[in-house]
Chain A
């Protein structure tokens, strides 16, 4: 017998169980193939209608709420670029207070979820997020990482990968794209002793959905770092969004893992990694990269993989295996 669709906040075994009801409407003006929307669609399904969304500026906010329209079917608040964490803290505290006073039913379960970009999280919203973690607010903070400030025209952020072209890491005589190594937001979240933190990827919907369910059930702040391909900013055909997202996992560029109350687990093991070149060659933002730069990026990925293998205590992400030419 086919498995039934689940209710909000219930884990799933297959993608057939994801609820049909949509909590975000079409007709918004995101580019064709925008990764943000595969993620947000499914995370909202996991959370269900009793959810308040806090959304600092960025593509997601701009494309869904051109006045007098809104794509949101759940209560939604737009906040400034820098204070997603603070406003979510306030919303959560207000719910608690209203429940204490008996104005809201005491046992009603209301989720508070932040959707913020990488610019809005790793750079400008960093301190408000840190405070939210520190005060133990029961909020799920989702970082939609497209590795640059896309809504204002592709400026680099602290999450832009080594080698990537952006308008502020141009390619010319002196500069060859981004030369720094990105921040490790998962480790930054874990350093705040949050109960739950995980990486997610839209090409792996069941893994993504179940991690959202765990995040919602955590007794304190939870952090989800979502990989969100942006066809416009990364320069690839919009039909390839899911393929690019999948390749990020298969190359070890984006490791799917979680930190659950002190325990690390890689949720999608990759025993034979593909060379990062396979990921690089799909995207125009890396087109200029020299052999030397690709080698350096591969070294950065190798180091990251080794670090995660160490955290979980075994080799779950294996070595790079070049495909045999047929």
Chain B
């Protein structure tokens, strides 16, 4: 990677693409990964609430119970395990990563 010189940098080192850390993958940090078992999931939304990284995704799905489903954004999920601990019905399994 060649770094830009100071003349090429935007004034004030402003970042012009809001939220562009989304292009960085933090999924590789995981040692364990959360796996949501959809049949067990009651759609209580607590994993989505408590995930610090916002990597539980709430997906509208007219065919799913209550019209939605929860998925993990594995590109960014860091594997902290909070969703797994907080799921009240143990619908999230904690599975070792294999790479």
Scoring B residues 42 to 79 as 1 if CB is less than 8 Å from chain A, else 0, what string do you get? 00011001111111001000000010000001001011
Bound-state Cα–Cα, A69 to B21, Å: 6
Bound-state Cα–Cα, A32 to B49, Å: 16
With A38-B52, A67-B13 already in contact, the answer to whether A27 and B80 are too (CB < 8 A) is no
Contact of B82 (CB < 8 Å), options: A64, A72, A242: A242
- How many chain A residues touch B (CB < 8 A): the figure is 43
Binds B, one of A12-20, A91-99, A161-169: A12-20
Contact of B22 (CB < 8 Å), options: A27, A68, A202: A27
Interface pair B15/A68, CB less than 8 Å apart: yes
Main secondary structure of the interface of A (DSSP, over half): loop
Q: Tell yes or no: B97 within 8 A of A by CB.
A: no
Interface pair B50/A22, CB less than 8 Å apart: no
Bound-state Cα–Cα, A35 to B80, Å: 11
Main secondary structure of the interface of B (DSSP, over half): loop
Bound-state Cα–Cα, A26 to B57, Å: 12
- How many chain B residues touch A (CB < 8 A): the figure is 34
With A34-B52, A65-B15 already in contact, the answer to whether A239 and B84 are too (CB < 8 A) is yes
How many A-B pairs with Cβ below 8 Å? 109
Contact of A25 (CB < 8 Å), options: B19, B66, B80: B19
Contact of A15 (CB < 8 Å), options: B22, B49, B78: B49
Contact of B21 (CB < 8 Å), options: A28, A231, A238, A242: A28
With A2-B66, A20-B58 already in contact, the answer to whether A27 and B52 are too (CB < 8 A) is no
Given contacts A64-B21, A70-B18, A71-B22, 18 further A-B contacts (CB under 8 A): A25-B18, A25-B20, A26-B21, A27-B23, A27-B24, A27-B26, A28-B26, A36-B52, A37-B52, A38-B51, A69-B23, A70-B17, A71-B19, A74-B18, A205-B49, A238-B80, A239-B80, A242-B82
**B contacts, CB < 8 Å to A:** 13, 15, 17-26, 29, 45-46, 49-55, 58, 66, 73, 76, 78-82, 84-86
Q: Can you give 9 contacting A-B residue pairs, CB < 8 Å?
A: A25-B22, A26-B76, A27-B25, A33-B81, A67-B13, A67-B15, A69-B20, A70-B18, A70-B19
